[in-house]
């Protein structure tokens, strides 16, 4: 993973506005500041938040925000579009088959897939 010393004067940038990305970031620990759009709206997100979600389904996605590490240590995983798409197709296919007299509910399928993908990914650490 990536390691950045917390005493650096600049905040490490995780995603840059205007960058074409094929992965979303699932935050496990720490806080990230988002500077969004041309208005430069500022928001902070922490553990269990997913940033860059539209890139998982949009192949032409460009980040409309800059994400900077605000709190150390910061741990996150990158969920790439290819893995997400493959996992979603497999999950939907398996759920189209009845399980006895029940069928699994699809309401939270995206969240379930993201959690499962995050479990198997190498974490990035910014200490």
**pLDDT per residue as tens digits for the range 24-61:** 999 999 999 999 999 999 999 999 999 999 999 999 99
Any domain includes 27: yes
Read out DSSP for 9-25?
Answer: SSPPEEE-TT-B-SEEE
Supply the pLDDT for residue 2.
42
- Residue 29's domain comprises 13-126
pTM: 0.74
Which pLDDT score, from 0 to 100, does residue 74 have? 94
Question: Tell me, what CATH number does 79's domain have?
Answer: 2.60.120.10
Predicted local distance difference test score (pLDDT) of residue 8: 52
In a domain, 20, yes or no: yes
19 domain-assigned: yes
Helix H or strand E encompassing 91 = helix 81-95
Contact 81, 55 (CB under 8 A): yes
Residue 109 lies in a domain: yes
Q: At what angle do helices 81-95 and 109-119 cross, to 10 degrees?
A: 130
Q: How many domains does the chain have?
A: 1
Q: How many helices (H) and strands (E) does the chain have?
A: 2, 6
Residue 8 lies in a domain: no
In a domain, 55, yes or no: yes
């Amino acid at each position: 993973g990536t390691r950045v010393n917390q005493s650096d004067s600049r905040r490490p940038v995780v995603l840059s506005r205007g960058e074409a990305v094929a992965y979303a970031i699932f935050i496990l620990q720490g806080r990230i500041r988002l500077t969004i759009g041309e208005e430069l709206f500022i928001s902070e997100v922490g553990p269990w938040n997913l940033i860059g979600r539209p890139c998982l389904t949009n192949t032409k996605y460009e980040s409309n925000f800059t994400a900077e590490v605000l709190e150390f240590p910061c741990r996150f995983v990158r969920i790439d579009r290819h893995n997400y798409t493959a996992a979603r197709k497999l999950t939907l296919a398996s759920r189209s088959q009845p399980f006895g007299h029940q069928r699994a509910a699809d309401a939270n399928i995206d969240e379930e897939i993201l959690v499962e993908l995050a479990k198997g990914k190498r974490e990035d650490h910014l200490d």
